[in-house]
Structures are given as structure tokens and as C-alpha cells.
Structure 1
Amino acid sequence: MTVVLGFEGSANKIGVGIVRDGTVLANPRRTYITPPGQGFQPSDTARHHRACVLDVLQEALQEAQITAQDIDCVAYTKGPGMGAPLLTVAIVARTVAQLWKKPLLGVNHCIGHIEMGRLITGAKNPTVLYVSGGNTQVIAYSEHRYRIFGETIDIAVGNCLDRFARVLKISNDPSPGYNIEQKAKKGTKFVELPYTVKGMDVSFSGILSYIEEAAHKMLLSGDCTPEDLCFSLQETLFSMLVEITERAMAHCGSQEVLIVGGKICSLTLANQLP
């Protein structure tokens, strides 16, 4: 049996996972939460990770009920992600690997999301919708490699939601996207927004600029509520993602969809997909 200890810290969450032959033994995490209206800066996030990582490591070992001697390999997120947090986690992982005399493996952040999704769900050959704070892609596995069928041409969907949350001063706890979804459930009026699908690619920056400007005008005039804006933005963004995902499924002849990444907590998005 192979036991792998993995460190993840590519953004504002630091996590340590322990997996034994495909079974997750532990996965404790800590999230760096900033005040409403503020994003998280790389240096501050790295400082948070440094302060938490050893406690999270100890918690993972205790939860998995194993010791350093039981670990066969140490893995860490090599990228993509935020530079300073990634560097912090890489240093810790390399130090642990050297101290425990274990092999060290750098893991691509995107492929890690996909493979963990396949492991947990048992999906064989899915069309993958990868949605996170920094990435938005539709991916399929073909000829022994992952191939990108469509992606954002500017900002990621998670970044779009996070930045709009700052406009409305929505809480970052547990995440801006989750809180936008809760407000969207109370929205009753749909505000028409730009819908930008270009073939298999999407664009979110123009939508963000439009709704940021509209928010100030509409909220002052009373034409709509914050809940209406959250509902409208979410429906527009998710409809775009569903369109390119369905197109990729048709192209690949796929019968499965796997949603992975930091924005998969959205049940609204999951329920719209085939």
C-alpha cells in the first residue's frame, strides 16, 4: 500500500491531505479570510500559511492515525497559483521530505483537481469543467493527455464573482462565491447582462465592468436589489459555462461531466449541467 502526504497552498487555503491507495485518510484545511470588500494579497496569504501549516500537518497525521514512518511520498502543489503562497508550501514540503527521507513530487494544480475528482466520483472519461478563482477551462482527456477545448480569454469566473462581491461588500466567509449564491436564491428580478461566448471560449471582464457600473446606478435608484444583481450575474455566468461544456460533450461523445476547482461548491452550477 502506498501512502502519500500532500501539501496544497496555491491560494488562500492551506491544506494537508493523506491518501492511501485511493482512500482519503485526512484532509484538514485552514482558510485565510479577509474583511468584506477586500481581496487577499500574496504576502499576507503566505504569512497565514506559514503560521498554520505545521498545525495542519499535525492534525492530518492525527486524523489519519499514522506517523512519518508510514509515509511513502511527499507531494505539493507546484503551480499554477499565487507565487508567495506556493513558495511557502514548497519550502515546507521539501523540508519535510528531506527530514523524513521521502521522495518529493511536484503536482500540477489543475491535474490534481481533475484526478481527485475522478478518484472520488469514479468517473471514467468525463468532460471536465474546471472552475476556480484563477482558472476557467473545459477539458477532455484524449490521446494520453488532457486537452483544453475552451477557456476564459481574460479573467476566471471565480475572480469575476470575487471582485463583484467586493463591490457589494459581501462577506468572504466561507467564500464570496458561496455567499453570492445564497443571495441569488432571494433574487426575483433578472437584469440583462452581456453574454460573451466566443466559440468554445468565454469572456468575463466585460460582464464584470458592466455590472459594477450598473450596481451603483441601480442600487441608488432602487431599480433592483443586491440579491437581484447576484441572481443575474450568477445565471449569466453559469449559462455561459453550461453552453461551452455541452458543446465539448457533443464533440467528444462524452456522457459524463466532472466539475472541479474552487467554485464547485455551487449547487446552482452543478444542477444546470447535463
Structure 2
Amino acid sequence: MSGSRQLYRIPFPIPEPEDRNLIVLGVESTSHTLGIGVVVYKGNGLVEIASNIRKVYTPSKGGIHPREAANTHIRNAKEAIEEALTVSGFKLREVDAVAVALGPGLGPCIRVGATIARFISSYLDKKLVPVNHAVAHVEIGKLVTGLADPLIIYVSGGNTMIVAGKQGYYRVYGETLDIPLGNLFDTFTREVGIAPPYIVEGRHAIDICSEWGRDFIPLPYVVKGNDLSFSGLLTAALSVARKYAKSDRKKLGDVCLSLRETAFNMLVEVAERVLLTSGKKSILLVGGVASNIYLNTKLELMASEHGVVFRSTPTDYSGDNGAMIAYTGLLNYLYGVTVEPLKAYVRQRWRIDEVEIPWMK
């Protein structure tokens, strides 16, 4: 995916640099996607997303194999960088800084992007900017929706959490206690034999399967305060599917439908509770699962009940991508957050609430 060049206004004040047209190359490789993006700061708070190239590793069977994914990223790296630069219209030597996602994620995969970014930074004497993958999902969502200070619902294959900005950090108000929502859907559909591929024509296999069913089956609904637990839900859904739905398409559809609705209802309940306690006036949905129309519909209804704005990150930027790393790298660069290439360490468990956010102070 390259996409057209798009201009956005940063929804909060930032320091204005002396030089305009700052160019940042972003490298994302924390999981199944190698993303290379280029953003340009045009001045007066305007940012242009000049290119956003994605090369996605898809396993032939099972879940993500970190080493296979990393090797795929290595094979695709040269082509992805060249394509991103061609689409953007810039030469590599014209780039002012290189931003890279150093975590959280899969170690072998992160190391591919880190190695690429360290090399470019060292060889061309460009500033290297460290980026937290989770922060990047949030910041690109805020940029493209125009929301400056929303309650953030972050759902993906590797993360499920409710966060909000407070005193220069993103505070985690609630999160999964075991497996993330995206992993729940991927594991279930894989175990019952309807995936991979997990995404077909923009829809997850769980949604396609849900259309086969009609009846709701009670499944474990586990909410603990503001936190959620999906492992019991997964176990119960698999048990029902294996017992009754092996040769019954409608019954399997009933399980898929019930699993999806239960999981989404748990998430909406927690999000609503945090919304009321945090006092936020808007809700932003980010991460790979943000493209799910059923989750969007539920959150729209919840937001309308409380008279707050709801926005979801567009599909081009909801999944892992290089533009989100480049943009968050730009913000870090404007605030002087850089790192020496030899000290650009991979951090597989780099939590979002460990990152200082200078533009929120």
C-alpha cells in the first residue's frame, strides 16, 4: 500500500523548527509487517504523509513464526525502502532523520528494522530517533482524526488496552490480563480450521464465520474492574466448536458470532467505565482491530449515549505501518529525542506507560 500524499494538521501545539520541510523516514518491523514510511513537516503544524509502504508476512499455517517473519522482512527491505522513496519523491540522502520502532514486539523482527535504521543513520550521518510502537499507533490515530486528547482504545493482535494522556505519559486505565483481542480471534479461527488467511477482502475470518450463524451461545464474560481476560473465553469457545460444530456450519457460525459479540461487549463495558472516570470528551480507536465495523458500531453507540466524539483510525493507518513510525519519530525529533546508533537497543516489552511524551506536558 502506497496511498496518495496526504496533508494533516498536528492537533496540538509543537515547537516550530527553524528549518521547514523536515523529512523523516520511518521503519516498522515489530511483527508481521515491514513498513517504510516518509513524512514531511511543512511548517505551521502541517505534516504530509509522503509514502506508506507495507510488506506483510503471512504464514502458510499456524501463527506468526518470528524467525520466518524476520527473514521475510530482510528479503523485502531493499524493495520497500526504494518504493517508499520513489513514491515520496525524495532521495535517501535528503532525509533529515531515521525513526525506528524498537519495541514492543517480536525480538527477531524488531532487530531487522533496528539494523536497517542503525545502518542508514551511521552511513549517511542522519539522526536516529527511537519510537515506541504502541505510542506510534496512538499518535498516527490522533493526527489523522484530529483528536488532541482522547480516551484511546488500542486493540491489535498483540495489544488490548485503554489509555489516556496524563502529565506527560500515557496512563493505562485497563488492559488484557492474558491474551490480546486480536490474538483471541486469530487463535480461535486457526484452531477451528478457517484461518489463515486471517483477513479476507478486508474482513477477519471471525466476521465471515459469524455470518453463518444466528443464535447466541452464552460464553464466559470476564471483566475485572477495568481489566479483561480472554483466555477462558477462548477455551470455552473452542470446546463448544469442537464438540458441536465440527460438521455443522451454522453451529460454528453461532460460536463465532457469540465469541465476537462477547469479546466486543467486554471491551465496550471497560471503555465506557474508563470514559466516565477519566472525563475525556472523545474516544479514539487505534490498532489493527480498529478496522472492524462491528466494534466501530458498538463504540459509536456507546459514545453517542454519553455525548462524546468517537473516531476510528482509517484502515491505511490502523494496522502496523511505517508512516506512524515516521510521524512519531518527527515529534520526538522536534523535542530532541534521539539516540546513538550503538545505543538503539531492542526492547521487546517496552510498555506504552514507560515512555515520556514531551508534547503532552
Both proteins in one fold, TM over 0.5: yes
Secondary structure of 1:264's counterpart equals helix
Stretch deviating more after TM superposition (209-218 or 197-206): 209-218
Q: Which has the higher contact order (CA 8 A, sep 6+)?
A: 2
Stretch deviating more after TM superposition (175-184 or 109-118): 175-184
- Determine if the alignment matches structure 1 residue 73 to structure 2 residue 97: yes
AA aligned to 1:89 is G
Q: Which residues of 2 match residues 192-271 of structure 1 at below 5 A?
A: 192-220=218-246, 222=248, 224-271=250-297
| Distance (Å, rounded) in 2 between the aligned partners of 1:55 and 1:100 | 19
Deviation per CA, 1:92-136: give whole Å up to 9, x if none.
111111222111011001101001110111102100001111111
AA aligned to 2:254 is D
| Distance (Å, rounded) in 2 between the aligned partners of 1:138 and 1:110 | 12
CA contact (8 A) 1:183 1:230 kept: yes
- Determine if the alignment matches structure 1 residue 31 to structure 2 residue 56: yes
Report the aligned-residue RMSD. 1.6
Deviation per CA, 1:125-158: give whole Å up to 9, x if none.
1000011111110001112211000001111111
Secondary structure of 1:173's counterpart equals coil
| Distance (Å, rounded) in 1 between the aligned partners of 2:147 and 2:103 | 24
CA contact (8 A) 2:246 2:252 kept: no
| Distance (Å, rounded) in 2 between the aligned partners of 1:73 and 1:79 | 19
Q: Which residues of 2 match residues 61-210 of structure 1 at below 5 A?
A: 61-173=85-197, 175=199, 178-210=204-236
Q: Which runs of 5+ in 2 are unaligned?
A: 1-20, 42-46, 304-361
Offset, 1:182: 2.6
AA aligned to 2:55 is R
Tell me the percent identity: 36
| Distance (Å, rounded) in 1 between the aligned partners of 2:289 and 2:246 | 30
Stretch deviating more after TM superposition (174-183 or 209-218): 174-183
Secondary structure of 2:264's counterpart equals helix
Distance 1:223 1:118, change over 3 A: closer
| Distance (Å, rounded) in 1 between the aligned partners of 2:51 and 2:247 | 50
CA contact (8 A) 1:189 1:224 kept: no
TM-score for the superposition, normalised by structure 2: 0.73
| Distance (Å, rounded) in 2 between the aligned partners of 1:220 and 1:144 | 51
CA contact (8 A) 1:218 1:224 kept: no
Stretch deviating more after TM superposition (49-58 or 212-221): 212-221
CA contact (8 A) 1:7 1:15 kept: yes
TM-score for the superposition, normalised by structure 1: 0.95
Offset, 1:223: 9.0
| Distance (Å, rounded) in 2 between the aligned partners of 1:61 and 1:133 | 29
Deviation per CA, 1:226-273: give whole Å up to 9, x if none.
222221111111111111111111111112111111211211111111
Distance 1:185 1:126, change over 3 A: farther
- Determine if the alignment matches structure 1 residue 2 to structure 2 residue 27: no
Offset, 1:184: 1.9
Secondary structure of 2:271's counterpart equals helix
Deviation per CA, 1:11-57: give whole Å up to 9, x if none.
11111011112221111101111235x11111111111101111111
| Distance (Å, rounded) in 1 between the aligned partners of 2:297 and 2:90 | 38
- Determine if the alignment matches structure 1 residue 46 to structure 2 residue 70: yes
AA aligned to 2:190 is R
AA aligned to 1:231 is L
AA aligned to 1:225 is K
CA contact (8 A) 1:35 1:171 kept: no
Distance 1:3 1:151, change over 3 A: same
CA contact (8 A) 1:97 1:103 kept: yes
CA contact (8 A) 1:178 1:265 kept: no
